[in-house]
């Protein structure tokens, strides 16, 4: 356990920055708009149980942006009406304005940012692979470090992050960003394991809350914050491909058990939870017919799927009413209005 306070980041570009946008012509890009064969009800939205609220009926899955190398980490800003996400290997973050689908580079270099979220005050929280840290963008634009070391050693490569209602920041630290120079910078691993951490909002104290994952990845609280779901995508390193759930009390986790499994040879990466506690999780890497999103009821039943034409990594609920599901899937961003709302606020 170690204690540190927030401080400013030196504004030095990372080594090996690769922030050039993809040289893809308009003709070569995947078409935007509703996917082919989208007669209502959209067959890309598959209900397996009447509890699934994946479609309001008169809507379809749309590709709303494309041309990225590998899209991750969507975070929606309700006050501004825009989506921020990472184009990880291109070392940039993008901003997609909901009004007219205007797309622009939000930050480059991004230190190979991955997961993003919005804290309870509306500030952007970002995981950086190359920076090996979690940072926060303040209202005046300054970027401050939330966490970059534990017990004096650098993190592996923070991957995904959530903020609780007590303003504590919880994040995962797998090794994906230090294994090579494509999604980060190759580096020696200093932590002996790949863990999950909590940063106390008041003191800045960092505590390790789980240390028995192969590769901890996406994470999301239940609506009452009494449960925390955490993905293990360790299949990439000889481990499991499943979602575990923990009881949360007093900033600690206990009673870890498997919530959903059987994803191999595919796996999931990121999750979000809706207001009824259903867990929406990405899917990909194996059978193309399974690319997209799966939705699990709080009891673990698989109740629905959304089928996408690309491997999906992360998703988030957005829109003013938190009823538009944004999905980062390989080279494109997809979106669909759903019949529920995201639990996370703002
Ligand atoms: Mg991830």
Cβ atoms within 10 A of the Cβ of 50, count? 8
* Separation between Cα atoms, residue 192 and residue 1, nearest integer Å: 14
Residues 16 and 111: their CA atoms lie apart, in Å, by 10
Centre a 10 Å sphere on the Cβ of residue 39 and count the other Cβ atoms it contains: 8
Ligand 1 centroid–CA 310 distance in Å is: 16
Q: What is the pLDDT of residue 90?
A: 93
Range 242-270 average pLDDT: 97
For ligand 1, the distance from its centroid to the CA atom of residue 106, given in whole angstroms, is: 20
CA of 40 to the centre of ligand 1 (A): 32
Rounded to the nearest angstrom, the distance between the alpha carbon of 39 and the centre of ligand 1 is 32
Residue ranges per structural domain of the chain: 33-337
Its sign, for the CA torsion 145, 137, 327, 197, is: positive
- Residue 116 CA to ligand 1 center (angstroms) comes to 10
Residue 304 and residue 340 in contact, taking contact as beta carbons nearer than 8 Å: no
- For residue 114, how far is its CA from the centre of ligand 1 (angstroms)? 7
Phi, psi (deg, nearest 5) at residue 178: -115, 5
pLDDT tens per residue, range 202-227? 999 999 999 999 999 999 999 999 99
Q: Could you report the per-residue pLDDT of 148-158, keeping only the tens digit for each?
A: 999 999 999 99
Dist. CA 176 → ligand 1 center (Å):
9
Distance 58 CA to ligand 1 centre (A): 31
Burial of 123 from C-beta contacts in 10 A (0-12 / 13-18 / 19+): middle
pTM of the model: 0.93
Q: Domain 33-337 in CATH: superfamily?
A: TolB, C-terminal domain (2.120.10.30)
Q: What is the pLDDT of residues 97-106, one digit of tens each?
A: 999 999 999 9
How far away, in angstroms, is 268 Cα from ligand 1 center? 9
| Average pLDDT of the residues in 119-134 | 97
pLDDT of residue 22: 52
**H or E segment at 44?**
none
Ligand 1 center from residue 170 Cα (angstroms): 13
Residue recorded with tokens 């007219």: 100
């Amino acid at each position: 356990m170690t204690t540190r306070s927030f401080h400013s980041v030196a504004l030095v570009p990372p080594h090996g920055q690769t922030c050039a946008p993809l040289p893809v012509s308009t003709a070569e890009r995947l078409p935007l708009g509703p996917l082919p064969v989208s007669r209502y009800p959209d067959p890309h939205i598959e209900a397996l149980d009447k509890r699934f609220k994946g479609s309001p009926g008169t809507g379809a899955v749309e590709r709303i942006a494309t041309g990225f190398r590998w899209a991750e980490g969507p975070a929606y800003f309700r006050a501004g009406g825009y989506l921020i996400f990472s184009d990880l290997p291109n070392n940039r973050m993008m901003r997609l304005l909901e009004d007219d689908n205007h797309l622009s580079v939000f930050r480059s270099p991004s230190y190979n940012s991955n997961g993003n979220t919005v804290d309870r005050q509306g500030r952007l929280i970002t995981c950086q692979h190359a920076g090996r840290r979690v940072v926060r963008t303040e209202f005046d634009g300054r970027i401050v470090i939330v966490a970059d070391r534990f017990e004096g050693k650098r993190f592996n490569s923070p991957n995904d992050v959530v903020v609780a209602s007590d303003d504590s920041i919880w994040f995962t630290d797998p090794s994906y960003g230090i294994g090579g120079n494509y999604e980060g910078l190759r580096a020696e691993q200093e932590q002996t394991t790949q863990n999950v951490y909590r940063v106390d909002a008041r003191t800045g104290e960092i505590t390790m809350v789980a240390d028995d994952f192969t590769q901890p990845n996406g994470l999301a609280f239940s609506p009452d914050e009494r449960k925390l779901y955490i993905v293990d995508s360790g299949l990439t390193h000889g481990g499991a491909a499943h979602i575990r759930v923990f009881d949360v009390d007093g900033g600690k986790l206990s009673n870890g058990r498997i919530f959903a499994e059987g994803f191999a040879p595919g796996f999931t990466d990121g999750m979000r939870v809706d207001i009824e506690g259903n867990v929406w999780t990405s899917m990909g890497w194996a059978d193309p017919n399974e690319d997209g999103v799966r939705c699990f009821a709080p009891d673990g039943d698989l109740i629905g799927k959304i089928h996408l034409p690309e491997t999906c990594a992360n998703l988030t609920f957005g829109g003013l009413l938190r009823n538009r599901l944004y999905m980062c899937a390989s080279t494109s961003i997809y979106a669909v209005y759903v019949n529920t709302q995201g639990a996370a606020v703002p």
